[in-house]
Structure formats: structure tokens, C-alpha cells
Amino acid sequence: MSNVSQSIARLSRVARIVVPEKRIAELEWLDAIFEERVLGVMDRLVRSLSVFRGTPECVTRARDRLWAGLPPASKAKQEFKDCEIFEEFLELAGALRKQSFDQPIVFVTSNTSDYGPPPQGHEQVASDLTAASCSFAGNLAWARAVLLRRLPDGCS
């Protein structure tokens, strides 16, 4: 916010020098309005959040995935935390689907060494995501593109 405020103040000073006949006043009020809007968006976001806590079964499935060497783990590289994250994602997706959530769900990771290369990831990852009616994306821009392509006509 302070960078925005400093930029606005600089622009105001430059504008007063460049066009003195316009009598441009300080734009400090703009900073307050901008801050109110940002805080309003943040408040709405926080109010709309729900906390999801994975079940103990997630840990068991992550351990089983690790022991079997299934991605994101492998026989050579044991990645329990990645397995737990992936299993919790799959459980969250399943819980959402059971509540009739029919919007796209995208697993986003840039970790190609553990989850596999785009566009689908390792075969096992792709299979698990397909079974959960989810998609894979290698970054947020890609995830956004996946989500936008699946929106109804006329939506943006």
C-alpha cells in the first residue's frame, strides 16, 4: 500500500509541475479508497473460506502410496509430504463432489520431478485425478486457462 501511496504522491507532484494551470491537488484520498476496496475484498474472501482438515485415512493412503513407490513418491525418492498433500487434495475433491460441487477442480504444481511433466503428470497421478474428476496444471496461469475453458458460454 505504501508503494501505491508513494506513486500517487509522485504523480500528483509531476502533474502539478507539468500542468500548473490545472491546480491538481494531492490525491491522498485515492489511497484511502483503494485501501478500503482491498480490505473489503480480503474480508469477503476470508468470510467465504472453509477450513478442510484431512482425515487420518489421508495419512494412511499417503504411507501406502509411499511404500508402493507411486507418484509423487518413487522407489528411489520417498516423498511422504508430497504424498500426503496429494491424498488430502483427492479427499477434498471427493468431499466437494459428494456435496454436488460440479465446477472444475484443478491440482496445481510446478513440481514436475515428483508429479510428472505436463500436460497430465505421471500416469498414476493422471489416473488418480481422472478418477476424482479433476485436472492437472503445471502453474496458476495454466490452471486459470483450464478453469476458463470449462465455464459456461458468456462467463468470464
Domain that holds residue 72: 57-149
37 with 70, same domain: the answer is: no
pLDDT tens digit sequence for 75-95: 778 789 999 999 999 999 999
Q: What is the average pLDDT value for the chain, to the nearest integer?
A: 83
38 with 95, same domain: the answer is: no
- Contact yes or no for 78/62 (Cβ under 8 A): no
Please list the residues that pair with 107 across neighbouring strands: 136
65 with 142, same domain: the answer is: yes
64 with 115, same domain: the answer is: yes
64 with 130, same domain: the answer is: yes
Helix, strand, or coil (residue 17): helix
In a domain, 129, yes or no: yes
pLDDT at 85: 93
Write down the pTM of the prediction: 0.66
